[in-house]
Amino acid sequence: MVKTILTCPQCGSADIFYENAMITGIIYHCKKCDYIGPVVLERDLIDEEIEAMKQGRVKEKKR
């Protein structure tokens, strides 16, 4: 199973959350650099990151 994460186009952080938008659609908000916008980069999780999540070294929002 391939997992993907959303990352910030500015700083590359995966600390992204949805900001509720009105009519325009989804807006994303990066906690790290305060980027706010509709564009985020989606990328596959690499095995190392999945391992890290399993071991609890990386925060995972959904369980």
Residue that the structure tokens 């706010």 belong to: 36
Q: How far apart are CA 18 and CA 62, in angstroms?
A: 14
As measured in angstroms, the least distance from the Cβ of 30 to Zn ion is: 3
Name which position in 27, 35, 53, 60 contacts Zn ion (CB under 5 A): 35
DSSP output for 24-60: S--EEEETTT--EES--EEEEPPHHHHHHHHTTSS--
Query: Smaller CB distance to Zn ion: residue 39 or 51?
Result: 39
Name which position in 5, 13, 27, 60 contacts Zn ion (CB under 5 A): 13
The residues binding Zn ion (CB under 5 A) are 8, 10-11, 13, 30, 32-33, 35
